[in-house]
Structure formats: C-alpha cells, structure tokens
Amino acid sequence: MNGISGLGVYEKNYYDSQVQNKKTNSTKKTQSKDKEVNLSDRAKELLKELKKTYGDIDFIVASYNSDEEADSYLANGTKEFSVLIDPEELEKMASDDNVKKKNLGIIEEAREKLSDMKENLGDKKDDVKRLGVSIDKNGTITYFADLEKMSEKQRERIEKAREEKREYIGAHSNVKRTRVNAPSAEELLEKIKGIDWSVIQGQRQELSGGRYSFSI
C-alpha cells in the first residue's frame, strides 16, 4: 500500500506549531463526539483495521447533514490525509464485503488522484495543507482541500529561521485560510486554481506564544 507522503499536506512551516497546539483541545472534542457514535463490534473492528492498514490517514466516524458539520469534524484531523465516514456507511462496510471493497477502492483512488492533483497546482501546491474525502450515509463522495496562505515576508522570515535552526520570535501572523469542496478531484483542482486570495480576510493569530522553534 503506497503512502501519501508525496502530498506534503503538513509542510514543515509554522503551521506545524498550530497543529501541535490544537492536539489537546481537538482530542477532547473528538473524544466527546466519538462517544455519540454507537458502533457494532464488527464496525469497531473494521475501524481498527482501517487505522492499522492506512496509518497515514485520519479516519473520522461521525453523522453529519451539511458541509458545515462535515467541516467541523474534518477540522480535527492531524494527519496528512483525512477520511470522514458516516457511521451508517461504516456499518454497511462491516456487514457487506462488496460495500467494503467499493469504499476502500474509492479511498485509495482518491488518495492517488489528490496526490496527482497537488502536483498539477504549480506554485499553489504550497498553499494546500490538508486533503481528503468524506463518505456520507448514502455513499456519496466529496473531495475537500484545506488551504492556507501567509505573506511572502512572513514566509521568508520563517524559512530563514528554519534554515538557521534557530527560534523565530514573532508576536503574531496574518494568515488566510479557506476550504474548498467538490464531487471530484478534477473539479477540486479547478476550484483551487480559481481561488482569489485578495477577497479572503486574513486571521490574526499568535505563534505559540510568540516563539517558534525550528531546532531538531
């Protein structure tokens, strides 16, 4: 099984610090949401199998009725690639080998398509922070991409600090973020290419208490 390290979804820039800082809070949120999902023993075993087989993928099991709800769950992902599955669909996979085979094929194909798509983004591929798919209770597939952009000066300062393996001191950064969804990888690619960052408002945030370490 090929991994998706080529996606480079979590680039080694300042964003890593945000991921680490979110882990504690995100874990609490994820655990509370997981408790609301009652899975059969077969579904639990299948989920355990999926996590073991696809170690680079975050499998998130949750019921959702809108893109906004799906986004709230996907925001808890910390790995390179995220897959959100409705519990009803997971139960179908656990009880029907044909459904399981179909959805596993979809996941693997999506991973390959998203990897290829990112390579076709040119300079925009550096803006992509996370990729993945969601599978709802009807088996409908939605592709998504989380993107993030900072100013060139900010990026240069962080890159320089990383190269020198020293700590970056900065009170805050102005970061622009957005998420795009599409029914196919091809349409997702076109949406990403069409993003106009000039109309997206930046978010002011502190960088880990104003200190970011690049030491190894």
Q: Is residue 45 part of a domain?
A: yes
**Digit-coded pLDDT (tens) for 115-169:** 888 888 877 788 888 888 999 988 899 999 988 887 666 666 656 655 665 554 4
pLDDT: is 13 or 173 the higher one? 173
User: What's the pTM?
Assistant: 0.66
Q: Is residue 213 part of a domain?
A: no
Task: Read off the pLDDT of each residue in 20-46 and give the average, rounded to a whole number.
Answer: 61
Q: Is residue 166 part of a domain?
A: no
Instruction: Tell me the residue ranges of DSSP E strands in 25-140.
Output: 57-61, 81-85, 128-135
**Digit-coded pLDDT (tens) for 166-209:** 554 454 567 888 889 999 989 999 999 888 888 888 776 554 43
Region of 187 (left: φ > 0; alpha: ψ -120 to 50; beta: rest) is alpha
Q: Is residue 123 part of a domain?
A: yes
Count of the separate structural domains present in the chain: 1
Q: Is residue 211 part of a domain?
A: no
pLDDT for 66 equals: 84
Domain membership of residue 133 as a residue range:
8-149+179-201
Q: Is residue 80 part of a domain?
A: yes
Q: Is residue 76 part of a domain?
A: yes
Q: Is residue 110 part of a domain?
A: yes
Nearest to 131 by CA among 85, 83, 176, 90: 83
